[in-house]
Amino acid sequence: MITEQLLGEGSSVYRSVLPSGIRVISETMPGLESETVGIWVDSGSRDEAPTAAGSTHFLEHMLFKGTPQRSARRIAEEFDRTGGESNAVTAKEYTCYFSRCLVDDVDHITALLWDMVLHSTLDAREFERERGVILEELAMSADDPGEVLYDAFDEFVYAGHPLGRPVGARKEQIRALDHRTLLDHYAHDYVGPRLVFAAAGGAEHSAVVEMVARATADLPELSSAPGAGLRPVRTPPEFHGGVHTVVKDTEQQGIILGMPGLPEADDERFTMTVLYSLLGGGMSSRLFQEIREERGLAYSVHCIASTHADSGQFGIYAGTSPASAQQVIDLCAAELDRLATTVPGRDEVEAIVSQVAGSTVLGLESSAARMNRLARAELYGRPLQTPSELIDRVRAVTPEQVTALAERLAAGPRALVTCGPGAGFELPG
């Protein structure tokens, strides 16, 4: 087993690689009586073959349905007894099973999570029952205009690419998914080299490693299965601009004005954080003040951003009346273009930097936030930095850098996607 200390001498962040290839990364937060732990699978919906669409999310559901040692009911009861919280999430590039519990319960919860992840029975009858549950989940999403808008945006700008598919796939794809496809997915992806265990809280790293090693002792050593579990090559997507409208009987017109953004580990992400907050990150942001406070055209207007290993998106979301939608679209584009052509004042940027620095520190007081940070850094190869280093990077952002990044964003292809009763909207010239 290889263990290294991260973040320099004296830090409490360590990374170990077990013989099975499982990576264990944890941070000790002195004085904390709780722990957040998660098993992260380096596989998401974009890694599915077209015939396996929806299998990643389906598998996430199935892992709560029982193992040879635990029934589905027993799994639920063991999570509930700790008094903490537990859940799972499927994303486009990873899957995560996580729990927050008392430090005294970490060993038990760790064993429970690994039993689910490594020993799921994936019973065929449970598979058919859960198919109905997932179809109901998709139906619920289809009734949510926000979900429809965001899915439509991805599908439009990444047309023909796996990143354009909804994480949960379409109803017809779930109906067509067979049990054997799920079993093959599980056998290929849920193996040592594609698994990361991340933890943050009161537990020491050595204790966390012992728990994981004990819970995964039956896994073969990596050398006995060369090449097993390696991620398939991901093809970067092409971003498609243009206009797309989803007509839906709603009170508001949902709007996303978007363009290519930054990949997860891009070094300009600190500048992006400042730009995001300045343009549409809070009540004092330009978009909020212009569109909501001064004109009363929308209740909600803000920036959005998503990042992937090889690409990203940046955009502006607003919800408004169909009659005001084109005006709001024009105003959003104008604010972005103004930032791209006119360097903001130093006082404005310094105020945003202070806001971002404060939110960074407050956010990292959560063990869940730290656990997520460790895992994402490991999955995306992003260097870890201390909270003080993160704040220094943000404080180093200059007004000129903000405008340069805004200019780069504004110069890319733009996509306008709307959802609501209106139609005929146009991208500002």
Pairing between β-strand 34-41 and β-strand 85-90 as defined by DSSP bridges:
unpaired
Instruction: Say how far apart CA 416 and CA 311 lie, in whole Å.
Output: 19
Q: Going residue by residue through the chain (429 aa), what tens digit of pLDDT does each one get?
A: 888 888 877 779 999 999 999 999 999 999 999 999 999 999 999 999 999 999 999 999 999 999 999 999 999 999 999 877 899 999 999 999 999 999 999 999 999 999 999 999 999 999 999 999 999 999 999 999 999 999 999 999 999 999 999 999 999 999 999 999 999 999 999 999 999 999 999 999 999 999 999 999 999 887 654 444 566 679 999 999 999 999 999 999 999 999 999 999 999 999 999 999 999 998 999 999 999 999 999 999 999 999 999 999 999 999 999 999 999 999 999 999 999 999 999 999 999 999 998 888 888 889 999 999 999 999 999 889 888 899 999 999 999 999 999 999 999 999 999 999 999 999 997
Give the pLDDT confidence score for residue 353 in this predicted structure: 93
β-pair partners for 100: 36, 85
Instruction: Say how far apart CA 276 and CA 303 lie, in whole Å.
Output: 6
Q: Which amino acid is at 321?
A: S
Sheet of 23-28: strand order equals 2-6, 13-17, 23-28, 195-201, 34-41, 95-102, 85-90
* E strand segments, 252-325: 253-260, 300-307, 312-320
DSSP 8-state secondary structure symbol assigned to residue 421: S
Structure tokens at 128: 């058919």
Instruction: Say how far apart CA 186 and CA 95 lie, in whole Å.
Output: 12
Question: 3-state class of 40 per DSSP?
Answer: strand
Cα→Cα distances 189→40, 47, 228, Å = 11, 10, 9
Asked if 396 contacts 353 with a C-beta cutoff of 8 angstroms, the reply is no
Decide: residue 55, CB within 10 A, 0-12 exposed, 13-18 middle, 19+ buried. buried
Catalytic residues: 60
Pairing between β-strand 195-201 and β-strand 23-28 as defined by DSSP bridges:
parallel
Structure tokens at 290: 């212009």
The ranges of the chain annotated as CATH 3.30.830.10 are 2-224, 242-420
- The pTM assigned to this predicted structure is 0.94
Q: How many other C-beta atoms lie within 10 A of the C-beta of residue 19?
A: 16
Give the pLDDT confidence score for residue 227 in this predicted structure: 46
Cα→Cα distances 338→203, 241, 290, 406, 429, Å = 49, 21, 13, 9, 14
Give the pLDDT confidence score for residue 223 in this predicted structure: 61
Give the pLDDT confidence score for residue 232 in this predicted structure: 64
CATH code of the domain made up of 2-224? 3.30.830.10
Instruction: Say how far apart CA 202 and CA 104 lie, in whole Å.
Output: 10
Asked if 348 contacts 278 with a C-beta cutoff of 8 angstroms, the reply is yes
Radius of gyration, alpha carbons of the chain: 23
Asked if 24 contacts 6 with a C-beta cutoff of 8 angstroms, the reply is no
Which one is the CATH code of 242-420: 3.60.15.10, 3.40.30.10, 3.30.830.10, 1.20.950.20? 3.30.830.10
